[in-house]
Every structure is written in structure tokens, then in C-alpha cells.
Amino acid sequence: MLPHDYKDFREESTSVKYPLSYIVKPEDSCQGKGIYITRNWESIKPTDQMVVQRYMMKPHLIDSLKYDLRIYVFVNGINPLRIYIYKDGLARFATVPYQKPNEKNCSNLFMHLTNYAINKESEHYV
């Protein structure tokens, strides 16, 4: 959570010997607005109000596409723990086959993000 964790973010980014990729999300937005992928941690200002996550370089794929799966649960009790899993879930897919992020494809949100609001605009959306 930036700017609060900027020092830790900078230390992690400079301590690795290979370039990391990050997914950057504005903390006050939704439906994919303002999200971007970067390989340059220095492009993120220390004052930015953002959620920054290390980007998974080897995601699980279905038919070469990134996806996310949401399973909804209801926690009815903690002690003893009682959790009920809702019968329906949600899967969202990217619309362009995945490739590891590089300088040429980082801006291709149809490849790297699964947000419906973004992918519904893709020519490959079904």
C-alpha cells in the first residue's frame, strides 16, 4: 500500500538481480480503471496512492489464457470454524493468450488482466 510501504517496496525492488514486474492499481478505483503493469519500479512515485503487487510470472492458464476464479463463502462462526461455500462462483478470463510481461506487451491489458470491464472491449471477447 503506497505511499505507506514505499520504503519496503523500493528495498525489495532493488535487492533482486532480475527485473520484476508489478501490477499497479489505484486505491480508489474499480472495474480495471487506472490499472497498469510496469517493469520499472522507479516509475511509481513515492507519493502515489496505489496498491502495488508483484506480478505472477507463471500463472495457471486455461487454453493459454489468464483467468481468475472466485469462490464465495459465508463464515458463520470462528470457534468452531463454520464455513459454507456458495454453489455458484465466478471465472473471468483474459482475451489474448498470455506471454510473460516484457517491454512490448506490458501495455496489453487484454493479455494481463481478467477484468470484465476491460476485456469486454477486446475484439476477441466472446
> Band of the pLDDT at 18, cuts 50, 70, 90?
confident
Ranges of H-type helices in 16-58: none
Which is nearest to 21 in space by CA: 107, 95, 110, 93?
107
Q: How do residues 32-68 score in pLDDT, each as one tens digit?
A: 888 999 988 888 888 888 999 999 989 999 999 999 9
Q: Residue 61: CB partners within 8 Å, gap ≥ 6?
A: 67, 98
Distance separating alpha carbons of residues 123 and 109, to the nearest angstrom? 13
Task: Report whether pLDDT(29) > 80.
Answer: no
Report field, pTM of the whole predicted structure over 0.95: no
